[in-house]
A and B are shown apart, each in its own frame.
Chain A
Amino acid sequence: MTYFPRRNFLKRTALTAALTAAGGFGAFISLPGRAAEWPKEAFASRKLAEAIAALFGTAQMTSSAAVALKAPAQAENSAQVQFQVSTDLSNVEAIAIFVEKNPGPLIAHASFTGSAAYFSARMKMAETSDVYAVVKSGGKLYMTKQNIKVTVGGCGG
């Protein structure tokens, strides 16, 4: 019967069209959303490498002296640890800060569309930990880390 192949062909074409439309639409939604939306998955990650990968799409980083993290060597108050991240790198797209041993390592992420490559805030620290400042510049990740000593816990009380 000549009728069958044609029907199959039509079915397949319709399916392909539907999939393409769905895929295209999906990409359309997720692309602009990535920068503007709160990165839920990255904040929910419990491990440092997972959080970095969820945020940037890769956990591959280069240690760089051009990334500066200013923070105390020992936290006087672990619920209020001041940090400043700045960098001499050019074309800086984003800065993120992570505390390796916090329940959720990602503290904050800033993406730049006009301000200088600098971000400061205060963070909570659960225990003594390495703190990572990660800078995305020209599509690559650069980082510096510093150990901050905590004597009394700041997370969870």
Chain B
Amino acid sequence: MASDKQTQIRTRTRDGVTDVLVLVNHPMETGLRTDPKTKEKVPPHFIQKMTFYLNGKEVLSASLGPGVSKDPLVGIKLKRAKSGDKIKVIWSDNKGESGSEEATIN
């Protein structure tokens, strides 16, 4: 299920190392929180998998838990990535929602 949640990628290369930062607008609900108005438990809703691809090849696969902050900002580093290379991230959460974003390293 595609999600309406926004995914952004930012890259920066310095001294041959490329920083890749991914920001997803996601509530990351733990399932422990109580809604202050309804006094009911808010069901868990969080990203579980986040996978990074460089030119179509998987380079990192992350598993996230509800302990990751709301609107996750996840950073990875790439060595030997070249200008023009394509970086892609795909994420999916515990409710079956998913999102992806692609960027070109400049």
Contact = CB atoms under 8 A, between A and B. Distances in A.
Nearest to B70: A79
How many chain A residues sit at the interface, stated as a range, is 35 or more
Interface of A: 35-36, 38-39, 43, 79-81, 84, 86, 99, 102-104, 106-116, 118-124, 155-157
B75 A113 contact: no
Contacts of A86: 77
A36 B63 CA distance: 9
How many chain B residues sit at the interface, stated as a range, is 20 to 34
A122 B69 contact: yes
A36 to B, nearest CB: 7
A111 B100 CA distance: 19
Given A118-B76, A119-B76, A155-B32, A113 B69 contact: no
Contact of A35 (B61, B72, B74, B77): B61
Given A110-B60, A110-B61, A118 B75 contact: yes
A104 B65 CA distance: 8
A121 B34 contact: no
Contacts of B74: 119-121
A39 B48 CA distance: 9
A104 B68 contact: no
26 contacts: A39-B63, A79-B69, A103-B30, A107-B65, A107-B67, A108-B62, A108-B64, A108-B68, A111-B61, A111-B62, A112-B59, A113-B58, A113-B60, A114-B57, A114-B59, A114-B78, A115-B54, A115-B76, A115-B79, A119-B75, A120-B74, A121-B73, A122-B69, A123-B69, A155-B32, A157-B34
Contacts of B49: 38
B8 to A, nearest CB: 15
A122 B73 contact: yes
B58 A114 contact: yes
A116 B77 contact: yes
B28 to A, nearest CB: 8
A2 B37 CA distance: 78
